[in-house]
Structure 1
């Protein structure tokens, strides 16, 4: 079962990325001179991309399986995080948030599909543990993320999240059952 842990951790990361803009809104807005409406639009791009990606990526999940699909998608999320961290203006910020949303769009569904394939007898236990880890990701996106921002800056936080996403992509692609 521990071979399936990267899928659950990916869902936790998706929660962190969902909430990161809210937790880091003040330094983001100050550094980039974003109005509240611009920050809201930027944040909503994640959810729009996340929602629009569901159907096409779901078909990809069915065709390629969770390991190949989520391995690639978390790499996309990592690119999005790094673009966001390096952005000096609106176009790269927006593209980064869109790529983050697409990259984690199947985090939960892909994890559940992996459990269904590899451990169907433990599906209830694994899905519950994954949802719990997702909640932990939501908690990490609050005060701990703000504390990390104080040490690394918001760009450093998103850079770190990008490398974590890439680490998960590699762990899923090369460390989980086919």
Structure 2
């Protein structure tokens, strides 16, 4: 009997702590937004990646280019895969608000959550054989591999320039689900105690 009361007390304390954390998050909502994206080429090559920016300061259109400190993007990474889903390469193009690529070009509409206009994402740090996207979002986009760092590349795949972009669930939402689940466990334990 004491064991059941101890479990209920632990669950109640955990639920209370999660409720406080959720309430604190609601009062001071996170300003950063994280988005995942993926791309599928006509020949079976694909890419997955993510990027983030501060919702409070970002304009409707985010445009970034070149190396150095970015205006709004906080991070951007992309991994390229061949048709058999073997990893070709992963690139952290933007990290900590700094672009590592001289060739980097990124245009994103925050209201429609679409990548558009000129895009150059991926390699660009000067290593021969790097993979990268180049083209126009919503029109024509190519997955290329650099041959010689002299502007010569091989086209591996292409598509209409379409990216699937999706918002990453917020931590407060996940905490809310955990708290709800804990309350369910507490209710089940109470029912078991009543039947004992």
TM-score by length of 2: 0.24
TM-score normalised by structure 1 residue count: 0.25
Structure (1/2) with the larger helix percentage: 1
Larger relative contact order (C-alpha < 8 A, sep ≥ 6)? 1
